A and B are shown apart, each in its own frame.
Chain A
Amino acid sequence: MLSAYAAPGLFCELTDAPAAAPVRERLAALSIEALHRRAAAAEAELYNLGITFTVYSDKDAIDRILPFDVIPRVLSGAEWQQIEAGVVQRVTALNLLLEDLYHGQRILKDGVLPADLILAHSQFRPEMQGVDLPHGTYVQICGTDIIRDADGGFLVLEDNARTPSGVSYVIENRHMMLRAFPDLVDGVPLRPIDTYGLQLLSALRACAPPAAADPAVVLLSPGSYNSAFFEHVFLAREMGVPLVEGRDLVVQDDRVYMRTIGGLSRVDMIYRRLNDDFLDPEAFRPDSMLGVPGLMRAYRAGNVGLANAVGTGVADDKAVYAYMPRIIRYYLGQEPILPNVETHLCREPEGLAYTLDHLDRLVVKPVGEAGGYGITIGPRASQEERAACRARLLADPANYISQPCISLSVAPTLVDGAVEPRHVDLRPFAITGAKTWVLPGGLTRVALRKGSLIVNSSQGGGSKDTWVLE
């Protein structure tokens, strides 16, 4: 299967990693035809299981699956150790940063972070000022996007500290692999991932108001028309908690209740898969039909917990990202275990000048966008695209950062009857209650289009099972 495979000049997750040798040998013994047959069976199963997201057009609702590549991405125990320690360090720093920003703002006073960057930020929530949270945990669920450069070194690309998604695919992909490729898995010492639901529930319970002896936890979803509804169902099932929508909840006397057949029943902790803006029409967007009027009052009164906390969006911003190494040093007195990608802040004159001078070599990203939108990849952009980018930079420099174009690592991927290299990234998921736990592996996203560097599912990305070896 791998006889015709080559990835010249790129770091390959399978062929350049000694630890992946046993998996590589087993894969090599499989024919492309067998691989295709099993991949097709696996895909059909995803449809039957309804592991789909729904795309709505004017007249139809079309169920799509997240494309799944059957060739796993393998990480050695040593590689994982570095990632795990690096993610824990980063999440710890993010929580300390948020607690500081919403209390004494020491880091602003000490001039480590520019105050205007934070205080004028659209995701900074003054409502959270002085609100104490159990264990000082703001980011209970964090997704850290990690890439690998041409030398195989890990770099953090971005932190997702609002409502990161994708963990359901990690676990469903594993189930799929175990069913479709039992021979590939047999005898390989894989770290299990099936405790995610338990870990999540216990972290959520730990972050519930201390007064609740046996906290009632719910998962708040925007509803069955949301494209991530499958994941909400998955998580509610894994935790064994009710899956509620805003209309199921009601706030009375600053306490949150859900409507049950027997009447109103108290809710202590909410894992919300709703952005801040939609949470409470009384506090934020008044037109939100998805939220719960009065929820912020109950939250500020300490009568209900929210995961993630309100106001975490200020910490996972692409501009704040550039300061993360300094933030880690400031709070923890440590060097970052996982380095950042070198980042130029266009809000700073030197950063802007450097970016404008090196547009043909840099990736320019808007700070407020997610999902791979609005990105200009300098080396691949046309003259016109670069000119347009330059104009946007000059018009609103603070809205942009730039980074060198990293040659992302690749992994062998089954495409149209052949196995070819495709770029991948990695999103490990960290859960934090009193302390932080990281799910072994995480979501490996793969850019299915040849040469593409953008792995987001909204931009033609798929996923792979991620194997962490013992």
Chain B
Amino acid sequence: MSDTLLARSAEALFWLARYVERTENLARILDVNDTFSRDRAGGQNWLSIVQLHADEEAFFARHTMASAQTVLGFYVTDATNPTSVASAVRAARENARILRPLISTEMWVQLNMFHARIAALGPQDLRPGQLSPLFAWIKEACQLHTGITEGTFQRDQGWYFYQLGRYLERADQTTRLLDIKYHVLLPDPRELGSPVDVSQWNALLRSAAGYHAYRRLHATGITPAQVAGFLLLNRRFPRSVYLCVREAELLLAELKARYGLRRGNAAAERLDGLRALLSGIGIEAILLQGLHEFLDMVQQRLNLLGEDLMAGFFSYGDQRSFESPVSAR
């Protein structure tokens, strides 16, 4: 009995991890933008956050201008925006509710309380000066979830799907983070190497908690190419795309071997291909073919990977329409 995992539960675990990871990344991006991202005139560029998520249409349907107030409202408290913290935490909690027979009480209680506090946030909580503590708390709440999960969740099949969700979402978020900086920073070649540019790339590293790790590796200075290479290809940095893909590949192989699962070969092959690609290429070659194009291709493969997992595990033996667990996107 304990060896069976409902396909629907596996999918809900995958999404639970994804939504918490997404929330953490969103808090990182907003925090860093608030604290470090200043342009030459000292203003903050909040539009870049909207561009990062390709949310221009939805955002400008609600607001006329990208100010700190409107962008923060849109991405923190606006429950009608599927890419907000409020939506991601609600989706995480709804998946956890479905999963309550499987997850620990401590995991559930923490998420339930996190959700209650997020749902109670209003404009008064988004005033300047309150943001940094707010984002620090959101990040911590996500990390607390991760820690409680590590310490209390059964290491059975469900654990693998949870971990797969975490790493795939993290890889995806890192590519998005890089992609927006490419959009915002690189189009104007005159700004390359200027002080403002460096501070922007600093901010990027900080948002991925990679600033100090990067400085240890590249003590001489910060170049866009090295930052991009670090976030994409580094073998040890826990948020690099390479490391996330490699972890996912190992997890899937172990899951299949340990539980004798014959399905999921397409996902395994795609992960293998992606890992091989990332380990065989240098950042110079990537920049040569175009960073944006490369990131786009990685994102597409990650999306297809999600579909492979769906076909291989989440909708196995399907004869009727199989409504997926709560997903905001």
Partner-B contacts on A (CB < 8 A)? 47-50, 216-217, 224, 229, 233, 236-237, 240-245, 247-248, 250, 257-265
Q: Are A240 and B112 in contact (CB under 8 A)?
A: no
Q: Are B316 and A260 in contact (CB under 8 A)?
A: yes
With A50-B108, A237-B100 already in contact, the answer to whether A258 and B116 are too (CB < 8 A) is no
B 259-302 contacts with A by CB, 8 A: 259-261, 263
Asked if B226 is an interface residue, CB under 8 A from chain A, the answer is no
Our pick among A49, A50, A248, A262 for the contact of B259 (Cβ within 8 Å) is A262
Q: Are B116 and A259 in contact (CB under 8 A)?
A: no
Q: In the complex, what residue of chain A is closest to B160 when comparing beta carbons?
A: A261
Q: In the complex, what residue of chain A is closest to B259 when comparing beta carbons?
A: A262
Our pick among A217, A229, A241, A259 for the contact of B317 (Cβ within 8 Å) is A259
Binds A, one of B1-9, B142-150, B229-237: B1-9
Our pick among A237, A242, A262 for the contact of B260 (Cβ within 8 Å) is A262
B 113-146 contacts with A by CB, 8 A: 113, 116
Q: Which residues of B contact A259 (CB under 8 A)?
A: 6-8, 316-318
How far is the CB of B46 from the nearest CB of chain A, in Å? 28
Name the prevailing secondary structure of the A interface residues. mixed
How many Cβ-Cβ contacts under 8 Å join chain A to chain B? 87
Q: List 15 A-B contacts (CB under 8 A).
A: A48-B109, A48-B112, A49-B109, A49-B112, A224-B98, A236-B101, A237-B100, A242-B4, A248-B7, A250-B320, A258-B4, A259-B7, A261-B157, A261-B259, A262-B261
Q: Which residues of B contact A236 (CB under 8 A)?
A: 101
Q: What 15 new A-B contacts, CB under 8 Å, besides A242-B6, A264-B316?
A: A48-B109, A50-B97, A50-B109, A217-B1, A233-B101, A237-B100, A243-B101, A244-B6, A247-B323, A248-B8, A250-B317, A258-B6, A259-B6, A260-B5, A260-B7
Q: Which residues of A contact B313 (CB under 8 A)?
A: 261
With A262-B259, A262-B260, A263-B316 already in contact, the answer to whether A47 and B10 are too (CB < 8 A) is no
How far is the CB of B182 from the nearest CB of chain A, in Å? 37
Q: Are B261 and A261 in contact (CB under 8 A)?
A: yes
Q: In the complex, what residue of chain A is closest to B325 when comparing beta carbons?
A: A224
CA–CA, A233 to B9, complex, Å? 13
Q: Which residues of B contact A50 (CB under 8 A)?
A: 97, 100, 108-109, 112
With A48-B109, A247-B8 already in contact, the answer to whether A263 and B317 are too (CB < 8 A) is yes
- 0/1 string, B163-184, CB within 8 A of A gives 1: 0000000000000000000000
CA–CA, A216 to B2, complex, Å? 10
Q: Which residues of A contact B318 (CB under 8 A)?
A: 259
CA–CA, A233 to B98, complex, Å? 8
CA–CA, A50 to B112, complex, Å? 7
Our pick among B2, B6, B108, B113 for the contact of A248 (Cβ within 8 Å) is B6
CA–CA, A47 to B317, complex, Å? 38
Q: Are B109 and A261 in contact (CB under 8 A)?
A: no
How far is the CB of A422 from the nearest CB of chain B, in Å? 30
How far is the CB of A224 from the nearest CB of chain B, in Å? 5
Asked if B31 is an interface residue, CB under 8 A from chain A, the answer is no
Residue of A48, A49, A243, A261 with most partner-chain B CB within 10 A: A261
CA–CA, A236 to B4, complex, Å? 14
CA–CA, A216 to B323, complex, Å? 25
Q: Which residues of B contact A258 (CB under 8 A)?
A: 4, 6
